[in-house]
Amino acid sequence: MNLEGIHHITAITADAQRNVDFYAGVLGLRLVKKTVNQDNPTVYHLFFADEQGSAGSDLTFFEFPDVPSGRPGAGDVHRVIWRVASAQALDFWEGRLPANGIEVERDGDSLRFSDPEGLDHELVVVDVDDEPLIADHPEVPAELALRGFHAVRAYSAAPEASRALLEALEFEQAGEAWEARGEKRGGLYFYDEPPTASSQQGAGSVHHVAWASNMGEHETWRERAISAGAHATPVIDRFYFRSIYFREPSGVLFEIATLGPGFTVDEPLEHLGEKLSLPPDYEHLRAEVEPKLRPVVNPRTTSTG
């Protein structure tokens, strides 16, 4: 039994429209679900992924309008690392990102940049057997597109304290990283020395990282986390997947999320993300919630809602 790499990464934005413009318009991801934060249904929860809405490529954002900028510190994921196929892909992004106002830093087979709110990203050339998770975009050729998550980097002052929990979750050391690798996909988890400034959640902050579980193994992962000292929540049905949350000893909020049911449970694949979707338990709030959400225009579809 192994986790199937990274399921999704959730961060915070202060401006849903600017967020969509960057991730769907510039980075070429597909907006696959426009819904609400189920713990605070007055705000958006936006999901960007590949064309199929696959776990392993799913970057999500809670919108808290006009929230101040965040600052990563100890206990935070501070960088999202994506796979690309080649140096030619890095060349492409080294041109496209500055053309859209984003500064970049190239170092061999790596390209680093931050989104408009300061969330740090890195593109790396990686040769793995994992299926490439690619979104269609008229300005981004498939062979140059992002291919899904490779890793996250987190700040920790005492990373060794996390060993017992990571081993209970069947992570294995892979050089400087810990790797969660299943039958189809893997993802890496790196630790870095934290800055002296304390953490401050806000726009551009990562809220949590989720690791992917097969549906039938989900409760067992919860038991393993608890046996290693984690204070895990009960299984929470998020409609599109089921979730367990706990903090690992470094302070990073972990989620274990199931591979399914998936985003097509309430929208056809060809129309994912075009309208506001509310899980059945929240549908009765539509008349109250929808007028409070600022309309978002998707540059891919030019639809509003």
The CATH number of residue 226's host domain is 3.10.180.10
Residue 296, C-beta contacts closer than 8 angstroms, at least 6 positions apart: 16, 17, 20, 34, 44, 46, 304, 305
> Which pLDDT value is given to residue 298?
94
β-sheet with 120-125: strand ranges across: 104-107, 110-114, 120-125, 77-84, 149-155, 186-192, 177-181, 172-174
Paired strand residues for 58: 8
Residue 300 falls inside a structural domain: no
Rounded CA-CA distance 161/154 in Å is 14
Total domain count for the chain?
1
| pTM as predicted | 0.97
Residue 179 domain boundaries: 6-292
Residues in the chain: 305
- Is 91 domain-assigned? yes
Report the C-alpha gap between 245 and 188 in whole angstroms. 19
Return the HEC string of 140-159. ECHHHCCCCEEEEEEECCCH
Q: Is 305 contained in some domain?
A: no
Which pLDDT belongs to residue 302? Answer: 56
With a cut of 70, list the residues of the chain below it in pLDDT.
Answer: 302-305
Distance (Å, whole) CA 77 – CA 7: 15
Other CB atoms within 10 A of residue 135 CB? 26
In this prediction, residue 301 carries a pLDDT of 78
pLDDT of residue 305: 41
Classify residue 256: in a domain, yes or no: yes
